[in-house]
Chain A
Amino acid sequence: MTRAQAGRLVRHAILILGSVVVVVPFLWMFTTSLQTRAETYTNSSILPTSWHWENYLRAWQSAPFAQYYVNSLVMAVGIVAGHLVFDALAAYAFARLDFPGKNVLFPVLLAGLMVPTFVTVIPAYTIVANLGWIDTYAALIVPRLADVFGILLLRQYFVTIPVELEEAARIDGCSRAGTFFRVIVPLSSPAFATLGIFSFLFAWNDFLWPLLVTNNDDMRTIQLGLSSFVGRYGTSWNYLMAGTLTATIPSIVVFLFFQRALVRGIASTGLKD
């Protein structure tokens, strides 16, 4: 064995060991969800002795999981749509249009990115409460229809598109708005995909804001439902893991389908929740 081969082997060994640490919790989540309650306390084997798929049904019946799911989906879809439209329009203005105040507005928005949610959350909550939006989809969606991160991400992409393409369209009689819809938008699908995935994951995984603006169990999102599930069924690990897994699957599916776009987006922007 050459030195290079040995080096590769060692690297694989360490990476596999690390992968085990990362993956075991997920594997354990899955196998536990299929065990009986008694089995979850013995941890005797990785595989359940018998597969109790009915745990999923029981877990779903013991809390309004279907409703939580619908709520999370409505919220996520609303926020994704908002970001794709609102952020894209604003991003185009910053990328290509010349208007008074641009050089002030842009840095101000950038600064807004640095302010932690904690600072804004109390007044934002009171605004939503005064509007009478507590326990409505409006409270979950409207405050987050636009965000600075999305504007920056798209702007960064738009400026890389050659100006000549738009100039050609202008000569053919296209308006400014027309060049956005006919030239920029069709060329930007990778950027839209990246932003859409980010927005979906953040909305789906979000916790603090939905926790504040919903009280009614019928309006709770999946992450909230899951967390209250811990309080009610804290010792029924099998049901708890069944619930946790069902709440996690959409994120994992989105990630597995779109991981190239996601990783590329992170690599170029550096973002984390």
Chain B
Amino acid sequence: MAQAQLVIRSGETPPSGSPRSPRRRRYDREQVITAAVFLAPALVVLAVFVFYPILAAGQISLTSWNGFDPVQPFVGLGNYQRLAQDPEFWNSLAVTVGYALGVCVLSVVSGLAIALLLDAPLRGLGIYRSIYFLPVVTSSVAAAIVWRYLLDPSGLVNSVLAQFGIAGPDWLQDRYLALGALTLLTVWKNIGFNAVLYLTALQALPHSIYEAAGLDGASGWQKLRHLTIPLLSPMTFFVVVQALITSFQAFDLVYVFTEGGPRGGTDVLGMFMYRTAFRLGDFGYGTAIAFVTLALVLGVTLVQWRVTGSDGTER
């Protein structure tokens, strides 16, 4: 399933009843057997299709395997060296970083803005929430097709621009415009999701702090700037990490929207990996791309974690 992260509540397992000796824990036989039977189906599926593949991928990335031959020629770190010298990779990385930054910033701003607007008794709240959520449940393929149509040279966007006397460009034929359009499409698709996350966080904030600030004469803007935004930083961290993962894993949207074009302008890492492995049959190199992507996401997440964690905003 897709990316997910859970806030695990501290609901711990109840003690099993029997007193535990410090040296050797004793397990209730019935519990152990039940657990084994209950865990087996899920663990078999996960082991074969998730955990073993992680290890196998590590090995494949050290080969120049074409996906068919029984032999997997070992090349050591060759694929990684090749990546470092591959202009296609550097283009893809630059595109992905630009895209990820755009998605992060716009996701935080738009999600927070809508959540703030919705965070108070307001008629039609449920209707707004449903509307903003529609793109979230729509598939990436459908979203990409619709936006291709809207951005067509003779499409709605350019027709509206023409009403104002502006000659609209051919959006998907210019590399920067296409990347910008892809960024906006991604944000459009996830806006409801981010708004719901922020809304939940906002509604969990303590009222008393705001009342105290109000008594001290703080203005609405000051409350937002000095109370709401800092108090929401754990959620902002979460939204940023999610946006990062989404952009570093982007594939469906790009595949249908631009196919990585024009001339590599939207060739995100996911697209680059898919093309390398499944179109060119270069499985070893493709897996190396996937690993570098994973390392980048983990690295950025850890740095982010450090930064937000250090000022005591970590929940």
26 interchain pairs, CB-CB under 8 A:
A19-B131, A25-B147, A86-B45, A90-B42, A90-B43, A92-B38, A95-B13, A97-B31, A98-B16, A98-B35, A113-B3, A114-B5, A118-B293, A122-B57, A124-B49, A146-B43, A208-B251, A227-B145, A244-B142, A247-B141, A248-B142, A251-B138, A252-B137, A255-B130, A270-B6, A273-B3
Residues on B with beta carbons closer than 8 Å to the beta carbon of A34 = none
Residues on A with beta carbons closer than 8 Å to the beta carbon of B28 = 98
Using CB atoms, name the residue of chain A closest to B52.
A123
Task: Contact check, B54 vs A119: say whether CB atoms are below 8 A apart.
Answer: yes
Task: Contact check, B41 vs A122: say whether CB atoms are below 8 A apart.
Answer: no
* B95 vs chain A, min Cβ distance (A): 16
Residues on A with beta carbons closer than 8 Å to the beta carbon of B159 = 43
Residues on B with beta carbons closer than 8 Å to the beta carbon of A151 = 42
Q: Could you tell me how many residues of chain B have their Cβ less than 8 Å away from some Cβ of chain A?
A: 110
For the complex, what is the distance from the CA of A247 to the CA of B142, rounded to whole Å? 8
For the complex, what is the distance from the CA of A123 to the CA of B277, rounded to whole Å? 11
Report the stretch among B170-178, B284-292, B306-314 that lies at the interface: B284-292
Please name the 5 residue pairs, one residue from A and one from B, whose CB atoms are nearest each other, closest first: A159-B11, A123-B53, A205-B139, A123-B56, A146-B42
* A213 vs chain B, min Cβ distance (A): 11
**Would you call the interface of chain A mostly helix, strand, loop, or mixed?**
helix
Task: Contact check, A25 vs B150: say whether CB atoms are below 8 A apart.
Answer: yes
For the complex, what is the distance from the CA of A149 to the CA of B117, rounded to whole Å? 31
Task: Contact check, B139 vs A269: say whether CB atoms are below 8 A apart.
Answer: no
Inter-chain pairs besides A18-B114, A177-B34, 14 sampled, C-beta below 8 Å: A12-B122, A86-B41, A92-B38, A97-B31, A98-B27, A112-B54, A123-B60, A148-B50, A207-B140, A207-B252, A230-B148, A259-B130, A270-B238, A272-B193
B297 touches A (CB below 8 Å): yes
B229 touches A (CB below 8 Å): no
Task: Contact check, B142 vs A146: say whether CB atoms are below 8 A apart.
Answer: no
Interface membership of chain B positions 229-256, coded 1 if the CB is closer than 8 angstroms to chain A and 0 otherwise: 0000000001000100110110110011
A53 touches B (CB below 8 Å): no
Task: Contact check, B190 vs A272: say whether CB atoms are below 8 A apart.
Answer: yes
**Would you call the interface of chain B mostly helix, strand, loop, or mixed?**
helix
Task: Contact check, A116 vs B242: say whether CB atoms are below 8 A apart.
Answer: no
Q: What is the interface of chain A, defined by CB distance below 8 A to chain B?
A: 8, 11-12, 14-15, 18-19, 21-26, 28-29, 32, 41-43, 82, 85-87, 89-90, 92-100, 102, 105, 108-110, 112-124, 126-127, 142-153, 156, 159-160, 163, 175-177, 180, 198-199, 201-202, 204-205, 207-208, 212, 223, 226-227, 230, 237, 240-241, 244, 247-248, 251-252, 254-256, 259, 262-263, 266-273
